[in-house]
């Protein structure tokens, strides 16, 4: 990892003239709507798994591979499109990314067979991380310096609302008509996002010098950047570990009917909404020191999950509490924009690649524990161990920052 000089104060909002309150709200609404479309598409496969398996004539684990194909697209596309799009104005890049996302989901809706869907879900995942990275930078650029964390959390709110509202609606739509209509609806929401961004976001939001791709890659290759990404990829895996096996846990351990499963999913979504807003508030007050607050909470809640899973009321409360781990998202997203001077777009996009790595790591580790005979609720213990690992990574990152203070970055 490079030892290139680091910035020493947080990223400031740009000198772009303040927008009117109504236009500012419309821009943030548009960016949040795009996040809602992306989150609905990303998590829809979990609720529609039986429907897709029956329609495509494949097993449910094979449908799980479609989810993995999307996640792989995010991991590949986040840094790649962020670098390739670095020469474009932010508004132009946002429009292109959401237009691309609309096409990817339309292709998913029309895919004739399983093999084509694997390809189309991979393609649909490509703009995911780059969109959130550019959207977060745009929200910060139009916000006052003291509201950076809140602005980022509002952009991320779309993702958590997708779990709370979008995924249950997608499941209902898929059961009522066809899973294909879910991806078609996501395509329409993406086009609506394109229209709102085109109408509300001024071109003048772009300030600061452009970075050449090689220069941005060199600026990205800093120890604090990689440390923050590792915290997200490992520390956040526990939430996905529990979330991925929630349905069988509710049926086999809690003993409820399958009709309760959407309530459990909604519990994660509600917790994510609360955590997302709390994360922005914590970052505005504690900066990077907010990370151990969230991870400490996660360790306790994940350790309590095996007990909570015994009764329906405590299980639902537990899903809300574990879902509040979502506070880590806006905290790390904002911190990455502070430590990645010269590579802020790439770092902000890679944040979402890291969280999709967590989405792969958590279920894999949980599957190992379950296969070893430790039971469905062992996901709580496994998740707590990844959160503890995240705390260790935070201690390492905090020591690095104390030894190499951050310098003043260029404005957004």
Query: What would the pLDDT profile of 320-365 be if each residue is shown by its tens digit?
Result: 999 999 899 889 888 887 787 767 777 777 887 888 888 778 887 8
pLDDT at 110 (0 to 100): 94
Domain count within the chain: 2
Same domain, 227 and 176: no
Same domain, 198 and 233: no
Query: What would the pLDDT profile of 109-132 be if each residue is shown by its tens digit?
Result: 999 999 999 999 999 999 998 898
CA 293 to chain CA centroid, Å, is 19
pLDDT at 204 (0 to 100): 64
pLDDT band with cut points at 50, 70 and 90 for residue 15: very low
Percent of the chain at pLDDT above 90?
A: 32
Same domain, 281 and 317: yes
For residue 219, the 8-state DSSP code is: H
pLDDT at 45 (0 to 100): 75
Same domain, 201 and 215: no
Same domain, 322 and 362: yes
pLDDT band with cut points at 50, 70 and 90 for residue 368: confident
Determine the Cα–Cα distance for residues 399 and 391; give it in Å rounded to an integer: 12
For the residues 65-71, what does the mean pLDDT come to?
A: 80
pLDDT band with cut points at 50, 70 and 90 for residue 36: very high
Q: Which domain holds residue 203?
A: 19-207
pLDDT at 5 (0 to 100): 36
Percent of the chain at pLDDT above 70?
A: 86
Same domain, 132 and 253: no
Rounded (5°) CA angle 408-390-131: 60
Q: Is the pLDDT score of 106 beyond 50?
A: yes
- Residue at which a domain ends, from 140, 173, 207: 207
Strand, coil or helix: 222: strand
In a domain, 5, yes or no: no
Same domain, 224 and 103: no
For residue 230, what is the enclosing H or E element?
A: helix 223-230
Query: What would the pLDDT profile of 205-228 be if each residue is shown by its tens digit?
Result: 654 445 566 666 776 778 888 999
Residue 154 sits in a domain of what CATH number? 1.20.1250.20
pLDDT at 176 (0 to 100): 82
pLDDT at 215 (0 to 100): 67
Instruction: Considering only residues 398 and 65, tell me which one the structure prediction assigns the higher pLDDT.
Output: 398
For the residues 72-87, what does the mean pLDDT come to?
A: 81
The pTM for the full model equals 0.73
DSSP state string for 144-195:
-GGGHHHHHHHHHHHHHHIIIIIHHHHHHHHHHT-HHHHHHHHHHHHHHHHH
Query: What would the pLDDT profile of 161-180 be if each residue is shown by its tens digit?
Result: 887 888 778 877 877 888 89
């Amino acid at each position: 990892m490079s030892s290139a000089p680091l910035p020493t104060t947080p990223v400031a909002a740009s000198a772009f003239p303040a927008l009117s309150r109504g236009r500012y709200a419309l821009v943030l609404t548009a960016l949040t709507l795009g996040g809602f479309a992306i989150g609905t598409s990303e998590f829809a496969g979990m609720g529609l798994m039986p429907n897709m398996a029956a329609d495509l004539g494949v097993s449910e684990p094979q449908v799980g591979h479609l989810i993995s194909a999307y996640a792989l697209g995010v991991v590949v596309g986040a840094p790649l499109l962020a670098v390739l799009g670095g020469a474009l104005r932010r508004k132009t890049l946002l429009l292109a990314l959401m237009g691309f996302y609309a096409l990817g989901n339309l292709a998913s809706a029309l895919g004739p067979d399983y093999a084509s869907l694997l390809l189309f879900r991979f393609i649909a995942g490509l703009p995911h991380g780059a969109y959130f990275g550019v959207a977060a930078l745009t929200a910060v650029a139009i916000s006052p310096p003291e509201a950076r964390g809140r602005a980022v959390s509002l952009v991320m709110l779309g993702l958590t609302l997708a779990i709370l509202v979008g995924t249950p609606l997608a499941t209902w739509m898929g059961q009522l008509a066809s899973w294909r209509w879910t991806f078609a609806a996501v395509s329409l929401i993406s086009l609506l996002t394109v229209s709102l961004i085109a109408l509300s976001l001024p071109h003048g939001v772009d300030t600061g010098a452009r970075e050449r791709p090689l220069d941005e890659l060199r600026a990205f290759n800093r120890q604090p950047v990689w440390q923050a990404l590792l915290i997200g990829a490992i520390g956040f895996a526990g939430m996905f570990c529990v979330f991925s096996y929630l349905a069988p846990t509710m049926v086999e351990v809690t003993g409820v009917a399958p009709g309760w499963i959407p309530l459990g999913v909604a519990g994660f979504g509600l917790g994510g909404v609360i955590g997302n807003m709390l994360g922005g508030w914590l970052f505005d007050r504690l900066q990077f020191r907010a990370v151990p607050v969230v991870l400490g909470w996660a360790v306790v809640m994940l350790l309590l999950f095996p007990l909570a899973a015994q009764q329906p009321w405590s299980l639902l409360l537990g899903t809300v509490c574990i879902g509040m781990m979502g506070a880590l998202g806006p905290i790390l997203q904002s911190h990455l924009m502070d430590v990645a001077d010269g590579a802020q777009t790439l770092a902000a996009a890679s944040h979402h690649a890291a969280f999709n790595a967590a989405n792969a790591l958590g279920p894999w580790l949980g599957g190992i524990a379950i296969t070893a005979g430790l039971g469905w609720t062992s996901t709580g213990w496994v998740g707590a161990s990844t959160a503890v690992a995240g705390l260790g990574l935070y201690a390492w990152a905090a020591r690095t920052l104390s030894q190499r203070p951050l310098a003043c970055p260029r404005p957004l």
